[in-house]
Amino acid sequence: MSDATKSSDTTDAGGEVQGPGLTGSMLTAALVSAVAGLLYGYDTGIISGALLQITDDFHIGTGMEQTIAASILLGAVIGALACSFLSERLGRKGTILVVCAVFVVGSLASALAPNPWLLVAGRVVLGFAVGGATQTVPMYVAELAPARHRGRLVLAFQLAIGVGIVISTIVGATEAVSWRIAIAAATVPPVVMGLLMLRLPESPRWLVKRDRVDEAREVLTNVRADGYDVQPELDEIIEVEELKQETRSRDRGWRGLRRPWVRPALVVGCGIAIFTQLSGIEMIIYYSPTILTDNGFATSTALNVSVGLGVTYLVMQIIGLAIVDRVGRRRLTLVMVPGAAVSLIVLGWFFVSGNDGHDQTPFIIATLIIFMAFNAGGLQLMGWLTGSETYPLAVRSAGTSVQSASLWSTNLLITLTLLTMIETFGVGQTFWIYAGFNVAAFFFVLRFMPEMTGHSLEDIEKHLADGKFSPKDFERAS
């Protein structure tokens, strides 16, 4: 950890280094992050149960079902890329307010759609907001948060995704709520999110980047605990930004992502984002009811399993949120990924060996739950967290944009191909393919992902600039 980072901490009576405490503003920022995550989980998860009603209303086939499910993901890719430019020009706060408005428009357009193609269009708009939120909100919270609490505050976003998924699966399992009402309900949270956002300041790091140092100092003073000396933290932000001002424009923004010294951050960020999707999580969330009903499970059982999976996701996110800043990002991921891989191997065996009948139903459900526990409590925690803290300030908007687009593009590819893979290879073999992706994820994390827990954003950037971004380099610096 750098000297500047250390000097911005305080020391308790026992001599232990402590960061600044959490203020009301930081808790409000965490709440904004949570609402954004809830919208992500709800808007992407609600389609799983709603498709059963939509199919009956519009008399559509499998192809259109996949198109409707995937349309929000296409919009998310567009939103993730577009909001990179918006967050640089309007600021993080202004972009989040725009995203809130788009959430409302997309939800209403989807709920009122008179035919499947207009529903697809509405979900593309809604996806723009989802992608924009994933690009901007975690980055904003990370730039506002003290290093000591950054992991838990950013992961409020990830935790709320689980809440949104649980709510959407419960709504779907009731089979009593019209799909139009279920989708229209998503217009309320973004209004709350926007009102909360009006009470919050702009990112101090974005302000420094715009040469508004006095405003950045005022923001830090307001969001840090009373009596906390913000000057060392501000000096470190200014120092890093001044170094970037001395470089050419090709080291900034989208051009800067091509620079060799930034490449390790891009590899880690995008690699983790892609593996969070290839791990099988979206296969389970989007299509578990379809997979189960196609293999003899009752519809009510399949929907109840979805609720159980959503609750497991949420519980493991809560546990991860509580321990990630103590256990460490890298260590937690390496412990949990092998369990997810083994679970998928066992699931595949049930179907390949023909042990997928009624008698094995409890074991299949238990294995699904175990997979969700290992996946949600490990790799899924890292998707948005690494994006919020890995990239240098000069390219952070572009970096988080590319990472979000990588995640959503992978999600889109999976959504459009999964049913075809199952028809081509079989259910069990498809589970095995995704188990292989988990094995690859383990070795990727082992080789490329450093332990960034406890390091300030500026300290992480200095590691990059010095060419010391490997796991071993961070171990030596700890």
Q: What is the DSSP string of 62-112?
A: HHHHHHHHHHHHHHHHHHHHHHHHHHHHTHHHHHHHHHHHHHHHHHHHHHT
- The structural domains of the chain, ordered by start, are 19-200+247-477 (1.20.1250.20)
The residue length of the chain stands at 478
Residue 124 confidence (pLDDT) above 90 = yes
CA geometry: angle 310, 368, 414, nearest 5 deg: 75
pLDDT at 215: 95
Instruction: Give 11's strand partners.
Output: 17
Average pLDDT over residues 159-180: 85
Residue of 67, 277, 44 whose CA lies nearest to 167:
44
User: What interhelical angle do 396-425 and 263-278 show, nearest 10?
Assistant: 30
Residue 11 confidence (pLDDT) above 50 = no
| Dihedral sign computed on CA atoms, order 208, 153, 140, 337 | positive
Looking at per-residue pLDDT, the higher value among 135 and 49 belongs to: 135
Tokens coding 210: 């715009």
Q: State the pLDDT confidence band at 61, using cuts at 50, 70 and 90.
A: confident
Helix (H) or strand (E) segment spanning residue 11: strand 10-11
| 161 Cβ neighbours under 8 A, 6+ residues apart | 37, 38, 40, 41, 317
pLDDT at 271: 95
Provide the percentage of residues in the chain whose pLDDT is more than 90.
41
Residue 14 confidence (pLDDT) above 50 = no
pLDDT at 95: 96
Residue 400 confidence (pLDDT) above 80 = yes
pLDDT at 322: 83
Tokens coding 425: 């290879």
Highest average pLDDT, of 35-44, 250-259, 441-450, comes from 441-450
Looking at per-residue pLDDT, the higher value among 28 and 227 belongs to: 28
CA 54/CA 23 separation, integer angstroms: 45
Q: State pTM to two decimals.
A: 0.74
Q: State the pLDDT confidence band at 439, using cuts at 50, 70 and 90.
A: very high
Average pLDDT over residues 449-472: 88
Q: Give the three-class secondary structure for 354.
A: coil
pLDDT at 49: 74
Average pLDDT over residues 208-222: 93
AA letter at 428: G
CA 239 to chain centre: 30
Tokens coding 31: 């709440």
Q: What is the mean pLDDT of the chain?
A: 85
pLDDT at 474: 85
CA 453 to chain centre: 18
Q: Determine what percent of the chain falls in helix, strand and coil, rounding each to the nearest 5.
A: 80, 0, 20
CA 276/CA 437 separation, integer angstroms: 10
Cα 318 to Cα 122, 272, 323, 370, 376, distances in angstroms: 32, 20, 9, 16, 10
Residue 223 confidence (pLDDT) above 70 = yes
pLDDT at 244: 62
Residue 87 confidence (pLDDT) above 60 = yes
Cα 7 to Cα 19, 235, 283, distances in angstroms: 10, 11, 46
Of the listed ranges 240-254, 321-335, 380-394, the least confidently predicted one is 240-254
Average pLDDT over residues 153-157: 77
Residue 17 confidence (pLDDT) above 50 = no
Looking at per-residue pLDDT, the higher value among 290 and 41 belongs to: 41
Q: Which residues of 298-320 are buried (b: 16+ CB within 10 A; e: fewer)?
A: eeeebbbbbbbbbbbbbbbbbbb
Q: State the pLDDT confidence band at 265, using cuts at 50, 70 and 90.
A: very high
pLDDT at 8: 41
Q: Give the three-class secondary structure for 258.
A: coil
Average pLDDT over residues 360-386: 88
Residue 261 confidence (pLDDT) above 70 = yes
Q: Evaluate whether 113 touches 129 at the Cβ level (below 8 Å).
A: no
Q: Evaluate whether 20 touches 12 at the Cβ level (below 8 Å).
A: no
CA 274/CA 267 separation, integer angstroms: 10
